[in-house]
Amino acid sequence: MSAPVLTAVAWPYANGPRHIGHVSGFGVPSDVFSRYMRMSGHQVLMVSGTDEHGTPISVQADKEGLSTRELADKYNRVIAEDLQGLGLSYDLFTRTTTGNHYRVVQDLFSALWKNGYVTPKTQMGAISPSTGRTLPDRYIEGTCPICGYDGARGDQCDNCGNQLDPADLKNPRSRINGETPKFVETEHLFLDLPAFAETLGSWLSTRTEWRPNVLKFSQNLLGDMRPRAITRDLDWGVPVPLDGWRDAPMKRFYVWFDAVIGYLSASVEWARRSGDPDAWKQFWTDPSAQGYYFMGKDNIVFHSLIWPSLLLGQNGAGDRGGEPGRFGTLNLPTEVVSSEYLTMSGSKFSTSRGTVIYVRDFLKQFGPDTLRYFISVAGPENQDTDFTWDEFVRRSNFELANEWGNLVNRSVSMAHKNVGAIPRPTAPTAADEQLKAQVRAAFDTVGANLRRSRFKAAATEAMRVVGAANKYLSDEEPWKRKDDPERRDTILHTALQVVSDANTLLTPFLPHSAQKVHEALGGTGVWAAQPEIREVDDLDVPDRGYPVLTGDYAGEAAKWESVDIEVGRPLAKPSPLFAKLDAELGENGPEWAPIVT
């Protein structure tokens, strides 16, 4: 039996729709991985949801004239629709404002508290002198005391990656109105991160399979771990289950603390909805289970150091010892898979600068698979990568339409026209056998790359097979074999067998068109299952409902293996798999696209 696999996908923040930079970091890679793992026989639990607490939600709600809850409701739905449109096969995509999430966060906190990993401390908090309101860390900017970078945020320096305290910034200023914040005393709870540094250090030294940039970045931060605040002066968040804190209107868990626990709470919610409330345990407490976490690089520290610290504290496994909490002994991540940034003209996508391409605009014009393919084969897997329309159009036209679409189309068309069904092969030649062997071997090479989240290499390897099949058809010229139908049928049979296998290899990347190819080869039923949005009731809070993204993936037919095609199965005339894009789109993109200077 293959090990159960948890795919933990970074939680999108519910303050706006998703752009293609977001989904190239956490979305497409996690789905390609999960689809492959399901196809190769693993039981997969892929979870995430919208991250809905914290100040930016309050700020955005003020801007849109909505309450915080109304704003969270609005973007939770928008984001779930964006991700569904891309075909991201979540077992559960939920949200952080559910009764279930509140309880899991509070229970995990209680274990940390009981084991002595949380201590109250009075610190200096920033307020706005003009309004008297709390000024959250990320709304303060100034010069980093460590590297001197001038755009450092109060909570973190994006240049050197260090966690910061806003009171340490040089020349602090409010990003809301530019004024100098005033620092006043306030009591908060702190997670004792240094108590985990040693255990984390030895654990990280065993993570030799991680992408080197992720491992190095994490190890570099180890020596700098300081106690980190897990509460904030804010009225929008999960309440702290301690006497004196529980009913305090302006004391809530810090948004990062509750959001990162979402992986566990979403797994628990999925289990409760499945009818077996303990079903989450096989993905979290079974020592053979594997956990893969997908995110953009700005989130590495939360997944490689902070979340593992929370898990160790809950387990009672840091320097202060302790007993496992309500959840038992939870597994640490198997791997933290981080992508770099998809950029536009060298900068991150920015809503405020107007350099942004929204997922929904993109899907409306181009459909999901071209974007999935582009991100997989040309995305920011190992380095920041510029999105250009020119490359998008080129890859869509040459690789998807000309190479793959054309191979499917001409193989099926010729077999349909000449035989009307999958032809019977006779006396295969060395060339036939060699091509079929090459495709069969690709299951191992492409699979090994997918297992290690090397998407570029996996997609390139799969497309190499497609190229070899096109060359085979050009060499063998079945269209010139009118007087030798046996040879013609053998060539077409070989080509169709390779189309079928290549379709399996490409299914994790192109699940929507894979379904069409399956049908073009005369297949029926669900080849690659797609997620759907279901309206559900909150399991714990009466009269509250919300949409979740989920699906029935167990019944899909796609398996990671070569399956012999069935001679005599009727074939219909195929329709083109990918529309050829107008080359002019390669210059500036569609009309709705941002102008890049």
DSSP E strands: which ranges in 63-153? 92-95, 118-127, 140-143, 152-153
Q: Which of 491, 348, 504 is nearest to 24 (CA)?
A: 348
What token pair was written down for 230? Answer: 């897990």
Of the pair 15, 299, the CB lying nearest Zn ion is at 299
Of the pair 142, 316, the CB lying nearest Zn ion is at 142
Burial of 241 (0-12, 13-18, 19+ CB in 10 A): middle
Of the pair 41, 148, the CB lying nearest Zn ion is at 148
Q: Which letter, b or e, does each residue of 575-592 get, where b requires 16 or more Cβ atoms within 10 Å of its Cβ?
A: eebbeebeeebbeebeee
Full DSSP string of 127-190: E-TTT--B--GGGEEEE-TTT--TTEESSB-TTT--B--GGG-EEEEETTT-PPPEEEEEEEEE
What token pair was written down for 405? Answer: 């679409």
Q: Which letter, b or e, does each residue of 356-392 get, where b requires 16 or more Cβ atoms within 10 Å of its Cβ?
A: bbbbebbbeebbbbbbbbbbbbbbbbeeebebebeeb
Whole-number minimum distance, CB 462 to Zn ion, in Å?
41
Full DSSP string of 187-210: EEEEE-GGGGHHHHHHHHTT-TTS
What token pair was written down for 261? Answer: 């626990």
Of the pair 158, 209, the CB lying nearest Zn ion is at 158
Whole-number minimum distance, CB 358 to Zn ion, in Å?
31
Cα dihedral 542, 543, 549, 553, rounded to 10, equals 60
Of the pair 300, 565, the CB lying nearest Zn ion is at 300
Of the pair 224, 361, the CB lying nearest Zn ion is at 224
Whole-number minimum distance, CB 144 to Zn ion, in Å?
3
Of the pair 164, 266, the CB lying nearest Zn ion is at 164
Q: Give residues in contact with Zn ion (CB under 5 A).
A: 144, 146-147, 149, 157, 159-160
Distance CA 56, CA 46 (A): 27
Of the pair 219, 329, the CB lying nearest Zn ion is at 219
Provide the 10 A C-beta neighbour count for residue 276. 11
CB contact at 8 A, 363 and 372: no
Of the pair 187, 298, the CB lying nearest Zn ion is at 298
Whole-number minimum distance, CB 260 to Zn ion, in Å?
22
Distance CA 88, CA 62 (A): 31
